[in-house]
């Protein structure tokens, strides 16, 4: 018996983002040294970092892809990759981040998140509370892992 598209859409509309999102969220402050972006991406094995201001509200997002485009790593003799912190810190995070990223709330549906991800080609969607403070993050990987769970 085949599952109908409308049945799948109904199920996805019933699933709340808060059931799927990764939490807690790893963030960087807009005034942090740019080298911290690379450190956190490597340390936590993530590809997206919400950027917050002094009140903890989201003001931007920076990705691993952005990092690679801004400054390429150097290959060491042993084959590993290395970023020069001094070179990275010549850049200002607040000038390089994508400002005012698209966000959603924990009670939005997974269907809405998937629809936005496909329509706008988002790699992630920061999930925020009523004060625009990050409380989770939804990536393509987190959605797919949830669905095949």
Give me the tens of pLDDT residue by residue for the chain, a chain 149 residues long.
677 999 999 999 999 999 999 999 999 999 999 999 999 999 999 999 999 999 999 999 999 999 989 888 888 888 887 888 999 999 999 999 999 999 999 999 999 999 999 999 999 999 999 999 999 999 999 999 999 98
Domain map of the chain by residue range? 5-148
Distance CA 57, CA 39 (A): 21
- Quick count: other Cβ atoms within 10 Å of Cβ 132? 15
For 72, the token pair is 């390429």
Q: How far apart are CA 124 and CA 48, in angstroms?
A: 7
CATH of domain 5-148: 3.10.580.10
């Amino acid at each position: 018996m085949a599952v109908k598209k409308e049945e799948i859409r109904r199920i996805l509309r019933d699933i709340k983002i808060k059931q799927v999102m990764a939490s807690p969220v790893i963030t960087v402050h807009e005034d942090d040294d740019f080298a911290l972006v690379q450190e956190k991406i490597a340390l936590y094995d993530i590809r997206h970092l919400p950027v917050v201001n002094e009140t903890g509200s989201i003001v931007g997002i920076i990705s691993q892809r952005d990092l690679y485009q801004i400054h390429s790593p150097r290959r060491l003799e042993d084959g590993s990759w290395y970023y020069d912190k001094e070179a990275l810190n010549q850049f200002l995070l607040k000038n390089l981040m994508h400002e005012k990223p698209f966000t959603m709330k924990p009670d939005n549906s997974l269907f809405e998140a998937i629809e936005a991800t496909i329509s706008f080609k988002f790699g992630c969607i920061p999930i925020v509370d009523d004060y625009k403070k990050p409380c989770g993050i939804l990536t393509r990987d987190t959605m797919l892992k949830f669905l095949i769970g």
